[in-house]
Amino acid sequence: MIKTDVLIIGAGPTGLFCAHQLGIIGLTCEIVDNLDKAGGQCIELYPDKPIYDIPAIPECTGEELTNNLLKQIKPFNFNFHLNQRVEELKKVEKRWHVKTNDNKEFDVASIVIAGGVGSFEPRKFSVKECEKFEGNSLFYSIKDKTIFKDKTISIFGGGDSALDWAIELSNTSNVNLIHRRDGFSGMESSVLKVKELNDQGKINLYTKYQLDSVSGKDKIDSVKIKHDEGKIKEIKSDYILGFFGLIMQLGPILDWGLNIDKKKVEVNTENFETNINGIFAIGDICSYPGKLKLILSGFHEGALAARGCFKYAKPNEKLRFEFTTTSKAAQERLGIKND
Amino acid sequence: MPKITYNTHDNQTHTINVQNGLTVMEGAIQNDIPGIDADCGGGMSCATCHVYVNEEWLNKLPEKEDGEEDMLDMAFEPKKNSRLSCQLIVSDTLDGLVVNIPSKQG
C-alpha cells in the first residue's frame, strides 16, 4: 500500500499541472494513468498538432506541452503508475483506499480525478461474434508476436499500427491487410512499402473491404469481408488484428457514487470538489455552469483543487497563500538554491 | 435559422433550429440529442460525432478536410455517407439537412 497525500487519476496536462500545484504547497501525490505515457489526449490524440491557446505560449504541440509540464514537476519526483486504471474505491476512516487493475493500492487523504473523457481503450470491431474470440485469436494490441509465426493473420485498419504490423509480420506470417478505403492514414513510406509487398505477393491487400463476419469453433478459422459494392469474400485466418485507434471510456469511476451528468462529474467552482468530500474533479471530466473544455481552464481548476486537498492532507495546518516569486518554502520545494 | 434533422438509432426524429455558424455536432449536444458523444469537443480527433448523411445531401456539403477521412477510419461502422458532424458548419445552404446517428460511437 502506497501512502501519500493525494492520488491524481489521469496524467494529462490538467493532472500534471495539479501535481505541480500540490508540490508547491508542500503536498505529495502519486499519478495513475491507463496509457503507457504521460500527456493524456495531448500525447495520444494530437502529439504533433499545434495548440495556440496556452497563455504566454503562442504555439506548441501536444508533445511539447507535455514535456514542459513534466519538466516543471520534475523537482518534486512524484511517481507515475502507467498502464493501469483505477478500479476500487473504499473509505477507510478519514482516508481513501484506491486499487488499480494492476493491484496497486493507494492510501490517500484525497483524490483528484483528472481523467479527461475517460481512460483510453482500444476501439473494437462492431461484429458481435468478435467478442467470443477476443484474447484467444482476435487482438487489438500485440504482446507476443511469436504466436503468429507461420500463421495466417488478417489485419484490419489503415493507420500506422495496422501498416507497421502488416510489414513486420509479413516476414514470418501470411498477412492479409484489409482497409475500408484506398487511402491510408499511416505514414506515406509505410503505405508504399505495403503496396510493394502486395505486388511481390508477400501481403494480400484488400481495400474497400470491411469485416462482415468471423467463424470458427474455439478459435477463428476464417473471416468474411465485404466490399463497398456488396461483394463478399471469405479468407482463411488463424488470427485477426484490429487497429482502429483508441476510444475514451469512463469505466469504474461511474460506480463511485459521484454525481455524473452526460459522462461529466459535477463539481463546485470554489475548489472543484465533487458531491463526495475529498474527491475532486478537474479538466474535461468536470462540469459546472460555464465550463470551457480548454487546457487553461484545467490549469485553473487544478490550482484550486490542490488547495482544496490541503485541509484533508493536513487538517491541523492552515494554508497560507504565497507567490512562487517570493516564497522561500515554495522555492525550496522546487529545488531552487538561494544564496 | 436553418433546420437540421437528426434521426437517432431508435427511429426518433428530432428537427432542430440550429444557429448559423454552429456545427451540426454542437446543434446535437446543445439540444440533448442522444448518440453523439463528441469526446474531443470538435477537434476532429476522436470520431465520436460520426453521422450518416442522407444521400441527397452528400454533394451539397463542404468537402472533407484531409484529417476527416483518416478519423472516419476509426469510426464505428463507417460508410460512404459518413461524416464527422463537428466538421459540418451550419449555414443557410444546409437548411433541411438530414443526418442519421449510428447505433454507437465506439
CB contact under 8 A, B41 and A284: yes
Which residue of B37, B49, B73 is the best one to mutate when testing the A interface, meaning the one whose CB has the most A CBs within 10 A? B73
Residues 305-334 (A) with a CB less than 8 A from some CB of B: none
Of the residues A244, A263, A284, the one at which a domain ends? A244
On whether residue A216 sits in a domain, the answer given is yes
Q: Whole domain around residue A178: which residue ranges?
A: 124-244
Q: Are residues A205 and A258 in the same domain?
A: no
- Note whether B39 contacts A: Cβ–Cβ < 8 A: yes
Annotation: CATH topology of B3-100: Ubiquitin-like (UB roll) (3.10.20)
Mean pLDDT of the region A286-302? 96
Q: Is the pLDDT of residue A338 over 80?
A: no
Give this complex's ipTM.
Answer: 0.86
Q: Are residues A227 and A252 in the same domain?
A: no
Q: Are residues A133 and A277 in the same domain?
A: no
- Residue-wise pLDDT tens digits, B58-101: 999 999 988 999 999 999 999 999 999 999 999 999 999 999 99
Of the residues A244, A279, A296, the one at which a domain ends? A244
Q: Are residues A79 and A173 in the same domain?
A: no
Q: Where are the beta strands (DSSP E) in A279-330?
A: 279-281, 286-287
Q: How far is CA A157 from the centre of its chain?
A: 20
- The DSSP-derived string for A110-134 is EEEE--TTSEEEE---S-TTHHHHB
Q: Are residues A115 and A252 in the same domain?
A: yes
Of the residues A244, A259, A274, the one at which a domain ends? A244
The helix or strand, by DSSP H or E, that contains position A212, with its residue range, turns out to be strand A209-216
Q: Are residues A117 and A251 in the same domain?
A: yes
- Residue-wise pLDDT tens digits, A195-205: 999 999 999 99
Identity of the amino acid at A214:
V
Which residues of chain B lie closer than 8 angstroms to A126, CB-CB?
Answer: 76-77, 104
| Closest by Cβ to B77, choosing from A117, A118, A126 | A126
CB contact under 8 A, A180 and B73: yes
Distance CA A236, CA A149 (A): 15
The CATH number given to whatever domain includes residue A139 is 3.50.50.60
State the pTM of this model. 0.77
Cell numbers linked to A333: 520545494
Distance CA B48, CA B71 (A): 9
On whether residue A202 sits in a domain, the answer given is yes
Q: In this prediction, what percent of chain A has a pLDDT beyond 70? A: 100
Distance CA A294, CA A226 (A): 41
Which residues of chain B lie closer than 8 angstroms to A180, CB-CB?
Answer: 73, 78
Q: Are residues A172 and A275 in the same domain?
A: no
Cell numbers linked to A24: 508547491
Residues 250-279 (A) with a CB less than 8 A from some CB of B: 263
| Closest by Cβ to A180, choosing from B43, B78, B104 | B78
Q: Is the pLDDT of residue A181 over 70?
A: yes
Question: What is chain A's mean pLDDT, rounded?
Answer: 95
Residues 150-169 (A) with a CB less than 8 A from some CB of B: 157-159
Domains identified in chain A, total number: 2
- Note whether A227 contacts B: Cβ–Cβ < 8 A: no
Q: Are residues A276 and A289 in the same domain?
A: yes
The helix or strand, by DSSP H or E, that contains position B53, with its residue range, turns out to be strand B50-53
Q: Are residues A308 and A207 in the same domain?
A: no
Q: What is the pLDDT of residue A339?
A: 66
Look up cell 493536513; give the residue. Answer: A314
